[in-house]
Amino acid sequence: MNADARDRAANCLVFPLSGAEARTLEQMSLWLGIDIGGTKTAIALGRADGTLVATWRGATAPTADAVADLRRLGEEALRLVTGAGHALSALCGVGVAVPGPFDGAHGVLLTPPNLPWRDAPVARVLGELLQLPVQLENDANAAALAEWRFGAGRGARDFVYLTMSTGVGAGMVLGGQLVRGVGSHAGEWGHVPVEWEGARCGCGRRGCLEAYVGGANWALRLRRETPATSRVVALAGGDPISPVHLVAAAREGDAFALAEFARWRGYLIRGLTAIAFALAPEVIVLGTIATAAGEALCFEPLRAELDAELWPSLRGKIRIVPAALDEERPYLAGLCAALELRDSPAASTARRSS
């Protein structure tokens, strides 16, 4: 990024007004957010108040040439901005939500698990192309920030977000600040042990929460153990069984599906109990599988089960709620990564590396 771009960014990040005028100007500022996934990438032009001005979503389609892929991504972002009638000079910065591990200090994506890139210079390539400051953030942290700023965690000072899709992603906001910890490793609740010498986790350890409640591991278990007489098999219709089929079968009253949900909640409650005693957050937001399962299968019994584990002084004080964001989550996650440039302007420090 050249000196002119740095000056523009500095002027954009500092609002030398006061009162309502400054707040209005800040909320109207434009940011570019990018969420890079293993299969899909989302780009959003948005404002600090969460307004999405323009969005794009398409296949990530990665190759072994990370620099060429990133240039194509940057060109797509440029088309989005100009197509919305804006110049790059009107933007404050770019946020990129990425799957770790990565070096946040240098803006390099190191060895992402679902991409063929190695040491991809994300910040350099996008910064040179767009002439804007670029901030990398762990995708789970970025999703947590989105849910905290614009979703079910809005207004909470102490907040934990868990999403149980392929694995278990997590992010924490305590005292109104995103918590990263030493080496940005804080918040790996998916790797809290819930069964000593238990099932093997993808991280190489045994007994992790993710090994029992993460979607990929749960699906493998269901494919091994679902009886042929279960409604789950019929609903799958010959496709590989997944938690989606289990949700549908449980809603129809299938005994196996209901028992599986009880088992799943039993492991999840161990993780939630650890979070409750360690952090006592105001709100725990659960996404993906939990949100799909809904109140009757997931949230109502979880609340009762958590209260049964807690001291009387904590009961009823920690809310467990479904995530509020859906299709807009990846756009807002990228936008929140960009807003970290404003909220932590001194830091392009290392973001979570696993």
CATH for 187: 3.30.420.40
Q: Decide if pLDDT at 158 tops 80.
A: yes
Does residue 145 belong to any structural domain of this protein? no
Q: Decide if pLDDT at 57 tops 60.
A: yes
Interval 182-239: pLDDT, tens: 766 788 899 999 999 999 998 889 999 999 999 999 999 999 999 999 999 999 999 9
Q: Decide if pLDDT at 312 tops 50.
A: yes
Q: Decide if pLDDT at 163 tops 90.
A: no
* One domain for residues 177 and 261: yes
**CA atoms of 9 and 105, how far apart (whole Å):** 18
**CA atoms of 36 and 99, how far apart (whole Å):** 7
Domain span including residue 26: 3-140+329-343
**CA atoms of 314 and 292, how far apart (whole Å):** 27
- Cβ contact 96:126 at 8 Å: yes
Backbone dihedral region for residue 241 (phi beyond 0: left; psi -120 to 50: alpha; all else: beta)? beta
Q: Decide if pLDDT at 333 tops 70.
A: yes
pLDDT at 113: 76
* One domain for residues 232 and 294: yes
- Cβ contact 249:232 at 8 Å: yes
Does residue 348 belong to any structural domain of this protein? no
Interval 83-114: pLDDT, tens: 999 999 999 999 999 987 888 889 999 988 78
Question: What total number of domains does the chain contain?
Answer: 2
Interval 2-29: pLDDT, tens: 555 555 555 555 444 455 544 555 667 9
pLDDT at 149: 96
Asked, as a colleague might, if the bond just before 101 is cis with ω within 30 of 0, I would say yes
* One domain for residues 335 and 310: no
pTM of the prediction? 0.85
Residue 336 tokens read as 């929140």
* One domain for residues 156 and 81: no
Q: Decide if pLDDT at 307 tops 70.
A: yes
Q: Decide if pLDDT at 347 tops 50.
A: no
Mean confidence (pLDDT) of the chain: 90
Residue 299 tokens read as 């949230």
* One domain for residues 156 and 249: yes
